[in-house]
Structure 1
């Protein structure tokens, strides 16, 4: 049987591409099985075979691979400390949003013995094999003891430690959180007559979303390309699921919700409209996006100072808004969004979408936040899911445009620096602290919902920056004593440690404003990598190669760097940052003219070559 490889939505009239601009894209079909005991029955969330499906998948079990021969990585030999994300997804997630390792995606804690028993040790040497077996036995021992003690083991929201407590105690924390926030409404206990309620819920959401998109397309409220961008991907569709993690860095160790919704039915809508809305918000507030965390913050503030805008008396303000994501009502959020769009869009349209249509799209995402947790079906009707691209955007809009517009107008007028990275915002303030608090408190009372810091020196994620006693701008790497006191490299394999050392050095030079701070940071780096198993000679060699790579003359680096050498090293790395930004812009421009096509996984290279040849012939023909 010949497989039809023509995408059903492909427009053959698109002449803006050539065979050279086509790339195949990895498209893994995921199982509907969920992670752990907080989730539901196997297969409960798959709708590939339901009546709601319009375009049946020919083979639900196909796996996909990338057949693109091009190496899209800028430097595959370099371990990147900050991910160069495509679009806004990274920026919209909460700071420490958890991810699922692919091998553990469908693993339940109770399946751990079988998983370990079936592990392949053949690729390990004798020492690694012995270490792996010892660690696996430790895991099994922990599992037996936690079961016997009716306890659970959880990774914290921040940091690299683990948290152990009784199941009853942890569940009480979860219940208290739900009661305090009032963000989640229990729909069904998933047992008995309601055991298929989650499946029906997913089907209903799919039908509502598809009807809404179809109606918007038919009324010409959205274009065909927009409709296709927002349509549901049925190959990897599953209901959102919710779990909680402890915040061990806070007193009394509260819990925080993590909503996994990457394969949810409204994710495509959220991913499409979020960058459009961010662009409007950024323009309205003069907000800078720090896509690479501390590196971009240092870069922006130093340039702001070099341009003569930063005075020695200026204060720095940080605002952490993640608590707002599950507190604010949808009505309040929609009102703030309407105000922003109406004020900023003179023709009341963005890329052909009217304000009313954009509000409809946001509303259907917010109204369909259903999830499974602990064998129960919930609806989140306040705030947004932690993994949803829209959530952080709406928190920013609600805070800076809905509640504190006077404050925003003031720092825009005064040309203050305002930037954002994930759930934390930073701004300069050329005025008194009392003046700032007065302006901030004129809005709706949200101070108790966020963590705010104002001072001449502040920390922003892993950066500490401020003015010293002489009014000179200084910066260095920041460590939270309640989380990590050394650069955390314990999760990396020994093969990846050299790449990570390179990345950590890169960050250290970028963040440390002078040689003294860099020397201190380097001493912490040395200790951390020694404890992680990297030999002293390897550490010295990697550091020497790092110096040479960024322009220092080859010599014996056993002696201490001099001030002029360090400043030259830092200037060269700043220039490297600028080059990377420009390369990213070029890649984004190239991707606008690149067609990504999913392809099946082939068993041999001949099949792969034939498939690629067929794609090119098909392109030339049509």
Structure 2
């Protein structure tokens, strides 16, 4: 491995002997988001074929968007616009590549093809992306099979479908039959039915949940930082304040299905509008919920399986169902924390608490919660310094300190500068990284450490030094904080930190729109105008 010792942004995790060339390893280092340039030039298709394919894809998307907003797609103006689109695509596809770009595109195309050939001939390995760190993992197929089997035995959440038939057709038929019955009953219009079919996960229950549980639900690390600083402003943060982190084990696959559905029913009975969410009666939603859980099937190792406990990980519906189930479980802890002027908040299966009680008093309450529900297994830690989500939180003798947290296994991966993405995406990356750091870091020196880390990560991903310098300067210039860049001015930084911390993030803006009236008018059932 001596040929790979050059400093790089992020090495892939490789646990098998692949005998990669330096060029092949470099392509793996570029990560999953990397796009090689000018891929269509090597497809073997004619210019007309490529133009037609791209035109059909883009024009269909645009026309559907126009139709959603009741804008004509067949008048003279629209026809002229689509004709201009075709001409632009033809011009771009016909343009001759520069000699330098052409050589690079051909070289990278050949490297990718050589990797594909290598992987096709190695049936004994699997290639995946690592959880949350955006780098490749290549390991033994037998190890993956063993781990999958161990997980199935541990959770007892999956059972094999032994009839040998693919369940997809039956699942689609069940979905279509159910939605057709709702249309017939007038609960859904045909257009609404089409919007949520065949993916029932688009029935957005999350805004309804957040509308009532927002106070104790963390959206991200920035949200956590705000709540902690408000805790200080309210006069509750002291030298005795401790932080508690609680992790719920295998939440999605361990919650009892019937118990979760009963919790969902109670939630709707309490929070619906005369027994309805939009035009859908509670009974309609419960029937769809059962259908989603009953049709959680997948193929693995040439066999079909059905999930018989919990819900599918990655499913939007499973997440909100788990949240509602947990919301009932956590009521006692929420009231306990409120009674003792503490903080309680949860991000899916991660809980953060702040309290001035003694360690023994906290343990007593948490041990009670351990025995409350056999399906919810928790592990907790109590300290004056903890890591939660992407934040390190410290109590320095009664002074709150927050800074960015990076897991030991986290790689300094950023989209490589050489990736064939639109250039504005590369321009936005330094600004967004500094914005996140300024919102979370409560101290100017912690912010400066984060800035240096961002700088190094960008350099390691081939961003030119002058490009980085200009993007950094723009961030401080736009936010009237040049003195923070030049001399680490603490006073100016605190103004910057407070200003940016309390600006809503893009995610929060989206949620604000979604939760305006999620019960009477769910977003997915609204008609665009």
Following superposition, the deviation at residue 474 of structure 1 comes to 0.5
Q: In 1, distance between residues paired with 2:510 and 2:321?
A: 30
SS in 1 for 2:434: helix
TM-score when normalising by structure 1: 0.60
Q: What is aligned with 1:440?
A: 366
Q: What is aligned with 1:84?
A: none
SS in 2 for 1:313: coil
Deviations 1:99-120 (A, max 9, x none): xxxxxxxxxxxxxxxxxxxxx8
Give the alignment partner of residue 174 of structure 2, picking from 205, 208, 214.
205
Q: What is aligned with 1:298?
A: 225
Q: In 2, distance between residues paired with 1:532 and 1:320?
A: 34
Q: Within 5 Å, give how 1:26-175 maps onto structure 2.
A: 64-66=60-62, 125-149=98-122, 150-175=124-149
Following superposition, the deviation at residue 503 of structure 1 comes to 0.4
Following superposition, the deviation at residue 375 of structure 1 comes to 4.1
Q: In 2, distance between residues paired with 1:62 and 1:563?
A: 49
SS in 2 for 1:474: strand
Q: What is aligned with 1:522?
A: 451
Contact 1:456 1:466 in 2 (8 A): yes
Q: Within 5 Å, give how 1:118-267 maps onto structure 2.
A: 125-149=98-122, 150-188=124-162, 194=165, 197-210=166-179, 213=182, 217=185, 223-224=187-188, 229=192, 233=196, 237=198, 264=199, 266-267=200-201
Q: Within 5 Å, give how 1:250-289 maps onto structure 2.
A: 264=199, 266-268=200-202, 271-280=203-212, 282=213, 286-289=215-218
More helix by proportion, 1 or 2? 2
Judging changes above 3 Å, is the alpha-carbon distance between structure 1 residues 563 and 313 closer, same or farther for their aligned structure 2 residues? same
Contact 1:229 1:272 in 2 (8 A): no
Give the alignment partner of residue 325 of structure 1, picking from 252, 256, 270.
252
SS in 2 for 1:379: strand
Judging changes above 3 Å, is the alpha-carbon distance between structure 1 residues 312 and 505 closer, same or farther for their aligned structure 2 residues? same
Following superposition, the deviation at residue 350 of structure 1 comes to 5.8
Judging changes above 3 Å, is the alpha-carbon distance between structure 1 residues 211 and 512 closer, same or farther for their aligned structure 2 residues? same
Unaligned residue ranges in structure 2 (runs of 5+) = 1-55, 70-92
Contact 1:153 1:164 in 2 (8 A): yes
Deviations 1:129-182 (A, max 9, x none): 444444443333333333444322211123133222222332222222223222
Judging changes above 3 Å, is the alpha-carbon distance between structure 1 residues 339 and 332 closer, same or farther for their aligned structure 2 residues? same
SS in 2 for 1:66: helix
Contact 1:189 1:376 in 2 (8 A): no
SS in 1 for 2:481: coil
Q: Does 2:342 match 1:410?
A: no
Following superposition, the deviation at residue 420 of structure 1 comes to 3.6
Q: In 1, distance between residues paired with 2:304 and 2:297?
A: 7
Q: Does 2:427 match 1:498?
A: yes
SS in 2 for 1:385: coil
The aligned length equals: 437
Deviations 1:374-398 (A, max 9, x none): 4433221211112322212222333
Contact 1:152 1:167 in 2 (8 A): yes
Q: What is aligned with 1:13?
A: none
SS in 2 for 1:295: helix
Give the alignment partner of residue 290 of structure 2, picking from 344, 348, 363.
363
Q: In 2, distance between residues paired with 1:580 and 1:181?
A: 33
Contact 2:207 2:515 in 1 (8 A): no
Using the TM superposition, name which of 494-503 and 578-587 deviates more.
Answer: 578-587
Q: In 1, distance between residues paired with 2:417 and 2:373?
A: 41
Q: In 1, distance between residues paired with 2:323 and 2:156?
A: 21
Q: Within 5 Å, give how 1:421-436 maps onto structure 2.
A: 421-436=347-362
Q: What is aligned with 1:564?
A: 491
Give the alignment partner of residue 465 of structure 1, picking from 393, 411, 434.
393
Following superposition, the deviation at residue 316 of structure 1 comes to 2.4
SS in 2 for 1:335: helix
Judging changes above 3 Å, is the alpha-carbon distance between structure 1 residues 423 and 448 closer, same or farther for their aligned structure 2 residues? closer
Judging changes above 3 Å, is the alpha-carbon distance between structure 1 residues 418 and 508 closer, same or farther for their aligned structure 2 residues? same
SS in 1 for 2:250: helix
Judging changes above 3 Å, is the alpha-carbon distance between structure 1 residues 400 and 581 closer, same or farther for their aligned structure 2 residues? closer
Query: Could you say what the CA RMSD is over the residues aligned between the two structures, in angstroms?
Result: 4.0
Q: In 1, distance between residues paired with 2:155 and 2:341?
A: 36
Q: In 2, distance between residues paired with 1:228 and 1:146?
A: 44
Using the TM superposition, name which of 143-152 and 523-532 deviates more.
Answer: 143-152
Contact 1:198 1:372 in 2 (8 A): no
Q: What is aligned with 2:320?
A: 393
Judging changes above 3 Å, is the alpha-carbon distance between structure 1 residues 177 and 516 closer, same or farther for their aligned structure 2 residues? same
Contact 2:251 2:376 in 1 (8 A): no
